[in-house]
């Protein structure tokens, strides 16, 4: 399998629009594409999936670890022609003020070339100097440039100067196309399933890409990704049934997490919005999403609220992240929710937590033993207001990766865990194994 990485100097440069257009154009030409997103992002990944008509994965050195990230590539199907990776943030932007875990570092680890998407902003030749600085620092990792939001005349002028002074091939451009650009929301891009006419817009975008971008040169720049070997998970039982909440309210899942769950049992999807009962299962997995946008509908589904509450009271195992955790509280704003945790979720006007975190387990439970170390990330605009901690006292000490900031989160009631951290099971295999083996007791 061959692959390539698309990156940009900063967020808001149009990476997702350009990358999705290229993916759809290649798909329409008959190529089978496996898309990936670097970093912990769930939302941009949704556009890549729709563009490729194929599930997208994540690549993240912090969340998955060096070996786990490489193993994530092993989930690519054998019939795939190309792996197209979209970078996160700026190309060299990593943890804190370093390029650790940046798209640059991830691309180097995998061994793929990079195409730089550059959007000039009130500049002409200055753009050439900026591109040259990024190319030189990358020491050969950037092999091509695509200009975004430029006219054909602007492109022709810049192309000559970039190729003369920087020495990399300029592969084409996209003009400003407001009707085809992906709009943003407080936590990133609007979820792909919310966008009307997304599929037809991607086809229009692909038609434009074919006219203005040199797709064959992009394919020529793709280099071979070494075959990765997936390590098996050593668990006591492999015929489990896992119920996964998946609908418009709960849509944040890492493909790798779902694949690992499928390796130990059968995954059954259900909707807290529309289903009236739970599937017969050993474990409930409630991922993240935007439950606050659907709080009225979630609150009105009394049958589902009661079914989950009863499942927990009887000792059923539940693993809930961020949006799933919000749903398990007594209320989101004024709307009643499941009520397993005796707190209320209040939405705020700004991010409460954002970024990578290092986690220490403060008590032994079905996630692991006291003192176990885990990695995750948080991004949310809500606060958990605890009315009566009791059995729901926090079980984790959390430290901001690269900083000294510390706080507490993670709550346990019987065999129900909920908290704001998002986890990749690829980088927390001990925790994953503990959870699965606990289900056999």
> What's the token pair of residue 109?
């680890």
> What's the token pair of residue 128?
């050439």
Any idea which fold 240-439 has? Rossmann fold (3.40.50)
Q: Which residues of 290-313 are buried (b: 16+ CB within 10 A; e: fewer)?
A: bbbebbebbbebeebbebbbebbe
- Relative orientation angle of helices 198-212 and 43-52, to the nearest 10 degrees: 70
Q: Where in the chain is the domain with CATH 3.40.50.300?
A: 2-224
CATH superfamily entry for domain 2-224: P-loop containing nucleotide triphosphate hydrolases (3.40.50.300)
Mean pLDDT by 10 residues, the chain (441 residues): 96 92 98 97 89 96 94 93 96 92 96 97 95 96 97 96 97 88 55 68 95 98 88 82 96 95 96 97 96 97 98 97 97 96 91 91 96 95 70 83 90 96 96 92 62
- In the prediction, which pLDDT does 341 show? 94
- Relative orientation angle of helices 15-28 and 43-52, to the nearest 10 degrees: 20
Q: Where in the chain is the domain with CATH 3.40.50.880?
A: 240-439
Q: How far apart are CA 313 and CA 340, in angstroms?
A: 8
The answer to whether the CB of 88 falls within 8 A of the CB of 8 is no
* Length reported for the chain: 441
Is 281 marked active-site?
no
The answer to whether the CB of 38 falls within 8 A of the CB of 103 is yes
Q: How far apart are CA 284 and CA 237, in angstroms?
A: 17
Cβ neighbours of residue 142 closer than 8 Å, sequence gap 6 or more:
7, 91, 113, 114, 115, 116, 134, 135, 168
Please give the helix or strand (H or E) that residue 130 lies within, else none: helix 125-137
- In the prediction, which pLDDT does 182 show? 65
- In the prediction, which pLDDT does 287 show? 97
- In the prediction, which pLDDT does 372 show? 98
- In the prediction, which pLDDT does 441 show? 62
- In the prediction, which pLDDT does 195 show? 60
Judge residue 14's burial from the number of C-beta atoms within 10 Å of its C-beta, 0-12 exposed, 13-18 middle, 19 or more buried. buried
Q: What is the pLDDT of residues 108-165, one digit of tens each?
A: 999 999 999 999 998 999 999 999 999 999 999 999 999 999 999 999 999 999 999 9
Q: Catalytic one among 83, 222, 281, 322? A: 322
């Amino acid at each position: 399998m061959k692959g390539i990485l698309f990156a940009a100097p900063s967020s808001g440069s149009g990476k997702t629009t350009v990358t999705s257009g290229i993916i759809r154009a290649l798909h329409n030409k008959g190529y089978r594409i496996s898309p990936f997103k670097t970093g912990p992002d769930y939302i941009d990944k949704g556009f890549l999936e729709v563009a490729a008509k194929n599930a997208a994965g994540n690549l993240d050195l912090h969340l998955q670890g060096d070996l786990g990230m490489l193993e994530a590539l092993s989930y690519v199907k054998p019939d795939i022609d190309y792996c197209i990776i979209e970078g996160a943030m700026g190309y060299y932007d990593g943890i804190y003020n370093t390029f650790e875990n940046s798209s640059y570092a991830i691309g180097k680890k995998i061994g793929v070339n990079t195409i730089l998407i550059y959007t000039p902003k009130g500049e002409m030749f200055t753009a050439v100097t900026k591109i040259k600085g990024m190319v030189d620092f990358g020491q050969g990792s950037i092999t091509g440039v695509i200009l975004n939001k430029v006219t054909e005349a602007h492109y022709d002028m810049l192309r000559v100067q970039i190729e003369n002074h920087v020495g990399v091939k300029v592969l084409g451009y996209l003009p400003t196309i407001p009707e085809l650009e992906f709009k943003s929301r407080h936590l990133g891009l609007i979820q792909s399933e919310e966008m009307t006419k997304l599929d037809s817009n991607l086809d229009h975008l692909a038609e434009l890409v074919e006219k203005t971008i040199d797709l064959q040169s992009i394919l020529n720049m793709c280099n071979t990704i070494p075959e990765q070997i997936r390590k098996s998970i050593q668990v006591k039982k492999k015929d489990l049934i896992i119920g996964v909440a998946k609908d418009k309210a709960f849509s944040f899942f890492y493909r790798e997490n779902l694949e690992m769950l499928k390796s130990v049992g059968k995954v059954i999807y259900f909707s807290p919005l529309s289903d009236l009962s739970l599937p017969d299962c050993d474990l409930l997995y409630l991922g993240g999403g935007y439950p606050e946008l659907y709080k009225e509908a979630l609150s009105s589904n009394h049958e589902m609220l009661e079914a989950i509450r009863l499942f927990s009271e009887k000792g059923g195992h539940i693993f809930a992240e961020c949006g799933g955790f919000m749903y398990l509280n007594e209320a989101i704003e004024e709307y009643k929710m499941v009520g397993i945790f005796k707190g209320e979720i209040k939405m705020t006007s700004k991010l409460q937590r954002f970024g990578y975190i290092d986690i220490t387990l403060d008590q032994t439970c079905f996630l692991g033993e006291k003192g176990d170390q885990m990695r995750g990330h948080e991004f949310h605009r809500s606060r958990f207001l605890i009315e009566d901690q009791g059995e729901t006292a926090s079980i984790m000490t959390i430290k901001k990766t690269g900083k000294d900031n510390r706080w507490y989160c993670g709550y346990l009631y019987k065999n129900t865990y909920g908290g704001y951290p998002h986890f990749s099971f690829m980088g927390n295999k001990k925790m994953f194994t503990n959870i699965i083996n606990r289900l056999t007791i």
